[in-house]
Structures are given as structure tokens and as C-alpha cells.
């Protein structure tokens, strides 16, 4: 096949073939990242702007480094200290930035759907770096890539996504990607953190962490997003949540011997995952971060390619 | 219809001759290595490596290169087809690299490949080996080891098929303007 999309907005709209195409391309960029010279001239003379209306460390730096390793020029734009603080709308800001001759916009925004709105209103390429509680496609792609790299396949594996499913765009994108590639997906957490009718996305719901640990080949531990819970308490106390759902070394020992542990970061150490598990031999957390770079290089190179040709 | 110019026997003879020329060629250093340009140049490099091992008893380091990210035609939609990782698992510094490809025309993919090679180190030289030169050069790049020259009318092209990946087996086709793929 040939890549034809000018935007990467979400995994819901991608076919399994397209997802695999990105993962295979990331293999090539991973090789680039192992060389003494980690840069290729693919996007020389192109400009990529990171428009981050929400906080981010990993994703922001990862996209910037990916763009630079493709030889693109990068601009960084965040909410604080810009005209957004003066009340300029996202679209006005974006159109002004586009008028300066930008080729790709990488958008993180608190409103679900914002990247689609942006893509419909600009002629450059748009990449979704996380929109509200909706999708975070490059995080899911790097999770898929990491599982595929560690286990050699995705189809047939049982993957547990644990914790705050309701507020998590990472969960949603992972569910789309994993199910399309043939994995069995289990969402695990207290009823208050599992969205109603999530089964319609093709996943199993599980409220018993010990059962999930026994069943799964991979556990993706999500961060409890205290900042998204608007004052409501989805569980009686952190202590109780830890008791029921935290991935501790003791719990992990009852799982399959080759069970792998992932976390999209930032980690609430000692809440959803204990430090010795996060830093332990079954943890893929830092490999996820390393792979994120290769996956984002692949995405940026392809969408910029389509934008340049159209 | 595309016409078949050469068959398997020709390709085998040609590769044997080229293997001999590569071994006997005097290069700045005495350490040669083969790098095949994906996809078909990589297969040809494999075959050359085997011939050099079998007939000359010489084991040359062998690598594969995909130069997609070094191409100059991003704006024409290049770089959107499938790619494969490069594999160069030896130190190329001070080596004489024999770059292997199937067909040369404009010379642009060779330029891209040379750019990519330099990102792995500083070879002592790069020589170019191609099976078919179809003319149409846009850059000052010429093969050092050549199978055959075939002039192709404007709008036409050459297809070199290899039994490892092509159902047609080993063959060289000339495809005229407007003619279907063989």
C-alpha cells in the first residue's frame, strides 16, 4: 500500500493495514536512531509547529526531537505567554501560524475533537497529540509498537488496560488499535472509572485486578488523572484504590512468567504501580519512551509527505 | 507488450563477470564491502556476495540500504511507499564500498544512497555496480561495474525481475511508453 492521509487524528478511523504500515515504518526510524548520526534529511526545509494548549513533557519533547531528527525546523507554542492568554481562539492562532508557512501542526488540546476542527480549517498536515478524553493516537501507536517488539506479535495476546479508563484518551486509542490488530482487550478498574457501554468497543470489563493479572500477557497501567475528576471522587480513598488495583510486586508474581508491564507516564509512583514494578525487569516503560520517537518520526514523515504532494 | 531482453542465463553470466571485476578492481584500501540498495539491489548484492565467496573464496561484509529518507522528491509523493530498515552491521570507515542497484536512470537514487552511506561513517571510496543502465541521467553519476546498457524510449522503463521475489523469475524487460507492467 501507499500512505495517503494528510492528518493523523485518531486510531478509530485507521484500518489495521494503515496501523501496521506505520509500525513497519517505525522499524526503519528505529534503525536510524541507533546510528552515530541519528538524523535523516527527509524533511529538510519543512517546518513543524507544536501547538500545546495543555501541559506535556514527554509528548512535546518527543515530537520536537522526532521533527529535528527528520531535519525539519521546529516551533514550540504553548498556552502560557502567548495570545491565547489574551483570548485569541485556537483557529485564529492556527491560521496565523499557517500563514507563516508551516507544514505540519502537532496539536494537543483539552477539547475532544479539536484536531478534527483544526484539520478542516487549515491546508497543512495535522497530528493529534492528545485531545481531551478522546484520542492520543501516537501514544497508542508506540504502545502497539512496544508490544509487537517485545512479543513479536499483537494478535492473540490479552492486554489489560488498568485504571482510569473513563478519563483516558490513551485507553480509547489503545482499545481501537489493539482490537483492530486482533488482541483481546480487558479494561480493568472500579465501576466509577469504566465508561458505560465500553463493551461496544469490543472489550471485556473486569473489576478484579487479580483475575486480570492472571489472564493478561500485557498490563498497561494508566495514571489516575486527579486533574480531570472535577472534585468528584470516583473511589472512596487512594488507599482503597491501591489495595484493589495497584500493580505491586506481590500481585505481579501471580501473573504469567512473561507478563509485561507498560505505563504511558507520568507515573503516580506507589498509586497505580509500585516503584519496584515500574523500575523492574518486566517493565517496558522506558522502551515505550524510546519507541515513541521512532513512531513519531514515521508519522511526521508520512503526513508531511502527503501535505507536500497535495 | 513488454519485451523480454534477457533471461536467467544472461543474468547469471553477467553477475559472475561483475563479481570477478569487483574482486580484481583496484580500490584505495584493500577492504571491500557490498551494500545493496533495497529492494532488488539488496538481492543482487546477496548473489554477488555468494559468487565472490564461492569462486574467489573471499568473504565481503554485506549490508542493505533503504535510501527513502534521503530522496529529493518528497513533494512528488516519494517516501510514502513501504520501507524496510537499513542493515549495515559493519564499520564502513576506510572501506571501499561497492554500492549495488538493479537499474540506473537519473542517478538520483544513487545520490540519495551516497548521502545515506556517509551517515554511517567515512568510506575510503564508493564504487557503483548496476545491472542495467537505461540512460536518462540527470546527475553526474556513472556505474563502475555495468551489466548492460539498454536505451529506453522516453516514457518507457526497464523492469529487472528476480526469482527471489518475482513470479516471472530472473528476467529483464523493456516496457515501452503506455505498455502494461510485465
Q: What are the residue boundaries of the structural domains of chain A, listed by start?
A: 16-132+289-309, 137-286
- When comparing pLDDT for B41 and B151, which is higher? B41
Q: Could you count the other beta carbons within 10 Å of the beta carbon of residue B93?
A: 12
| A16-132+289-309 and A137-286 in the same fold | yes
CB A294 within 8 A of CB A29: yes
CB A268 within 8 A of CB A92: no
| DSSP three-state, residue A59 | helix
What are B106's three cell numbers? 537519473
Closest Cα in chain B, distance from residue A65 (Å):
16
Which residue pairs from B76-82 have beta carbons closer than 8 angstroms and sit at least 24 positions apart in sequence?
B76/A309, B77/A305, B77/A306, B77/A309, B78/A305, B79/A42, B79/A301, B79/A302, B79/A305, B80/A2, B80/A3, B80/A4, B80/A302, B80/A305, B80/A306, B80/A309, B81/A2, B82/A1, B82/A21, B82/A24, B82/A25
Domain ranges for chain B: 10-150
What average pLDDT score do residues B105-114 get?
96
Query: Is B85–A301 a contact, with Cβ atoms under 8 angstroms apart?
Result: no
Q: Which of B66, B71, B74 to mutate to test the interface with A (most CBs of A within 10 A)?
A: B74
pLDDT at B27 over 90: no
What is the predicted pLDDT for the residue at B46?
98
Q: What values do phi and psi take at B78, rounded to 5?
A: -70, 155
Q: Which residue of B has its CA nearest to A70?
A: B69
Q: How far apart are CA A149 and CA A137, in angstroms?
A: 18
What is the predicted pLDDT for the residue at A86?
64
Query: Is B83–A24 a contact, with Cβ atoms under 8 angstroms apart?
Result: yes
What are A108's three cell numbers? 494537543
Query: Is A30–B85 a contact, with Cβ atoms under 8 angstroms apart?
Result: yes
What is the predicted pLDDT for the residue at A82?
67
Could you tell me the pTM of the whole model?
A: 0.93
CA dihedral of A120, A122, A123, A125, whole degrees rounded to 10:
-80
Q: How far apart are CA B93 and CA B118, in angstroms?
A: 9
Give the nearest partner residue to B83 out of A1, A28, A70, using CB atoms: A28
Provide the CA A124 distance to its chain's centre, in angstroms.
22
| DSSP three-state, residue A74 | strand
Chain A residues touching residue B39 (CB < 8 angstroms):
none
Give the nearest partner residue to A40 out of B69, B76, B84, using CB atoms: B69
Give the nearest partner residue to B84 out of A21, A28, A35, using CB atoms: A28
Q: Which residue of B has its CA nearest to A42?
A: B69
Sign of CA dihedral B19, B9, B160, B83: negative
Q: How far apart are CA A63 and CA B157, in angstroms?
A: 40
Residues of A with CB under 8 A from a CB of B: 1-4, 21, 24-25, 27-28, 30-32, 35-37, 39-43, 70, 301-302, 304-306, 308-309
Q: Which residues pair with A128 in a beta bridge?
A: A107
What is the predicted pLDDT for the residue at B6?
94
Mark B30-43 as b/e (b = at least 16 C-beta within 10 Å): ebbbbbbbbbbbbb
Chain A residues touching residue B84 (CB < 8 angstroms):
24, 27-28
Closest CA relative to residue A127, chosen from A94, A102, A104: A104
What average pLDDT score do residues B95-123 get?
96
Chain A residues touching residue B38 (CB < 8 angstroms):
none
Neighbour order of strands in the sheet with B62-65: B62-65, B32-37, B96-104, B125-133, B145-149
Query: Is B119–A42 a contact, with Cβ atoms under 8 angstroms apart?
Result: no
Closest Cα in chain A, distance from residue B21 (Å):
32
What average pLDDT score do residues B98-102 get?
98
Give the nearest partner residue to A305 out of B66, B79, B116, using CB atoms: B79
Q: Which of B64, B76, B79 to mutate to test the interface with A (most CBs of A within 10 A)?
A: B79
Sign of CA dihedral A107, A108, A110, A116: positive
What is the predicted pLDDT for the residue at A57?
85
Query: Is A37–B115 a contact, with Cβ atoms under 8 angstroms apart?
Result: no
Chain B residues touching residue A3 (CB < 8 angstroms):
80
User: Would you state the CATH architecture of domain A137-286?
Assistant: 3-Layer(aba) Sandwich (3.40)
Alpha carbon distances (Å) from A199 to A121, A167, A177: 34, 16, 15
CA dihedral of A188, A193, A195, A199, whole degrees rounded to 10:
10
Closest CA relative to residue B117, chosen from B22, B41, B52: B41
3-state DSSP helix/strand/coil % of chain A, to nearest 5: 45, 15, 40
Closest Cα in chain B, distance from residue A26 (Å):
9
Q: Could you count the other beta carbons within 10 Å of the beta carbon of residue A128?
A: 29
Q: Enumerate the H helices of chain B as residue ranges.
A: 8-24, 40-56, 108-118
Cis peptide preceding A266, ω within 30 of 0: yes
CB B53 within 8 A of CB B59: yes
* The residue count for chain B: 182
Query: Is A302–B74 a contact, with Cβ atoms under 8 angstroms apart?
Result: no
H or E segment to which residue A30 belongs: helix A16-32
Cell match 564504487: residue?
B127
Sign of CA dihedral A56, A58, A64, A67: negative
Q: Could you count the other beta carbons within 10 Å of the beta carbon of residue B150?
A: 16
Closest Cα in chain A, distance from residue B64 (Å):
12
Q: Spell out the per-residue pLDDT of chain A, length 310, in tens.
A: 999 999 999 999 999 999 999 999 999 999 999 998 999 999 999 999 999 999 888 899 999 999 999 999 999 988 776 666 666 788 998 999 999 999 999 999 999 999 999 999 999 999 999 999 999 999 999 999 999 999 999 999 999 999 999 999 999 999 999 999 999 999 999 999 999 999 999 999 999 999 999 999 999 999 887 776 666 777 778 888 899 999 999 999 999 999 999 999 889 899 999 999 999 999 999 999 999 999 999 999 999 999 998 8
What are A168's three cell numbers? 483516558
Chain A residues touching residue B81 (CB < 8 angstroms):
2
Chain A residues touching residue B79 (CB < 8 angstroms):
42, 301-302, 305
Angle at alpha carbon of residue B112, lines to B87 and A1, rounded to 5°: 70
Q: Which residue of A has its CA nearest to B72?
A: A42
Number of A/B CB contacts below 8 angstroms equals 65
The mean-pLDDT minimum among A184-188, A224-228, B14-18, B133-137 falls in: A224-228
Sign of CA dihedral A62, A63, A66, A67: negative
- Report the largest interatomic distance among the alpha carbons of chain A, rounded to a whole angstrom: 57
H or E segment to which residue A185 belongs: strand A184-188
Angle at alpha carbon of residue A151, lines to A147 and A274, rounded to 5°: 60
Fold of the domain built from segment(s) A16-132+289-309? Rossmann fold (3.40.50)
Q: Does domain B10-150 have CATH number 3.30.300.90?
A: no
* The residue count for chain A: 310
Q: Which of A18, A27, A305 to mutate to test the interface with B (most CBs of B within 10 A)?
A: A305
CB A115 within 8 A of CB A131: yes
The ipTM is 0.88
Q: How far apart are CA A283 and CA A251, in angstroms?
A: 14
Closest CA relative to residue A99, chosen from A61, A162, A49, A45: A49
Amino acid at each position: 500500500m501507499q500512505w495517503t492521509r494528510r492528518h493523523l487524528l485518531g486510531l478509530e478511523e485507521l484500518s489495521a493495514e494503515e496501523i501496521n504500515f506505520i509500525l513497519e515504518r517505525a522499524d526503519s526510524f528505529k534503525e536510524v536512531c541507533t546510528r552515530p548520526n541519528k538524523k535523516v534529511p527527509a524533511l529538510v526545509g519543512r517546518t513543524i509547529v507544536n501547538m500545546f494548549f495543555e501541559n506535556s513533557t514527554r509528548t512535546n519533547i518527543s515530537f520536537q526531537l522526532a521533527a529535528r531528527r527528520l531535519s525539519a525546523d521546529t516551533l514550540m507554542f504553548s498556552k502560557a505567554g502567548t495570545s491565547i492568554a489574551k483570548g485569541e481562539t485556537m483557529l485564529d492562532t492556527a491560521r496565523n501560524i499557517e500563514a507563516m508557512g508551516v507544514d505540519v501542526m502537532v496539536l494537543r488540546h483539552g477539547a475532544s475533537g479539536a484536531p478534527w476542527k483544526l484539520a478542516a480549517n487549515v491546508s497543512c498536515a495535522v497530528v493529534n497529540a492528545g485531545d481531551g478524553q478522546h484520542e492520543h493516537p501516537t501514544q497508542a501507536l508506540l504502545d502497539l509498537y512496544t508490544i509487537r517488539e517485545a512479543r513479536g506479535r499483537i494478535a492473540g495476546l490479552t492486554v489489560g488496560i488498568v485504571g482510569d479508563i473513563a478519563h483516558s484518551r490513551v485507553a480509547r486509542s489503545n482499545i481501537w488499535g489493539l482490537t483492530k490488530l486482533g488482541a483481546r482487550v480487558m479494561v480493568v478498574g472500579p465501576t466509577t472509572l469504566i465508561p458505560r457501554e465500553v463493551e461496544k468497543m469490543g472489550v471485556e470489563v473486569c473489576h478484579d485486578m487479580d483475575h486480570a493479572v492472571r489472564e493478561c500477557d500485557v498490563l498497561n497501567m494508566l495514571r489516575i488523572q486527579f486533574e480531570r475528576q472535577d472534585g468528584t471522587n470516583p473511589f472512596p480513598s487512594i488507599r482503597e484504590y491501591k489495595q484493589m488495583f495497584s500493580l505491586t510486586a506481590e500481585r505481579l508474581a501471580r501473573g504469567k512468567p512473561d507478563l509485561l508491564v507498560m505505563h504511558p507516564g507520568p507515573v503516580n509512583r506507589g498509586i497505580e504501580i509500585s516503584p519496584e514494578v515500574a523500575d523492574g525487569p518486566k517493565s517496558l516503560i522506558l522502551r515505550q519512551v524510546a519507541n515513541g520517537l521512532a513512531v513519531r518520526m514515521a508519522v511526521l514523515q508520512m503526513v508531511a509527505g502527503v501535505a507536500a504532494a497535495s | 507488450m513488454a519485451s523480454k531482453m534477457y533471461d536467467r542465463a544472461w543474468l547469471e553470466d553477467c553477475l559472475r563477470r561483475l563479481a570477478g571485476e569487483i574482486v580484481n578492481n583496484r580500490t584505495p584500501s584493500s577492504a571491500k564491502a557490498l551494500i545493496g540498495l533495497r529492494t532488488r539491489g539488496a538481492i543482487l548484492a546477496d548473489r554477488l556476495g555468494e559468487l565472490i565467496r564461492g569462486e574467489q573464496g573471499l568473504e565481503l561484509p554485506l549490508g542493505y540500504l533503504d535510501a527513502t529518507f534521503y530522496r529529493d522528491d518528497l513533494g512528488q509523493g516519494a517516501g510514502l511507499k513501504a520501507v524496510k530498515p537499513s542493515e549495515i552491521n559493519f564499520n564502513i570507515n576506510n572501506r571501499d564500498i561497492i554500492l549495488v542497484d538493479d537499474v540506473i536512470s537519473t542517478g538520483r537514487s544513487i545520490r540519495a544512497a551516497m548521502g545515506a552511506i556517509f551517515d554511517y561513517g567515512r568510506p575510503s571510496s564508493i564504487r557503483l555496480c548496476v545491472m542495467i543502465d537505461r540512460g536518462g541521467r540527470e546527475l553526474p553519476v556513472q556505474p563502475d561495474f555495468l551489466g548492460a546498457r539498454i536505451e529506453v524510449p522516453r516514457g518507457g522503463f526497464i523492469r529487472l525481475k528476480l526469482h527471489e521475489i518475482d513470479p516471472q523469475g530472473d528476467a529483464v524487460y523493456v516496457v515501452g511508453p503506455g505498455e502494461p507492467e510485465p
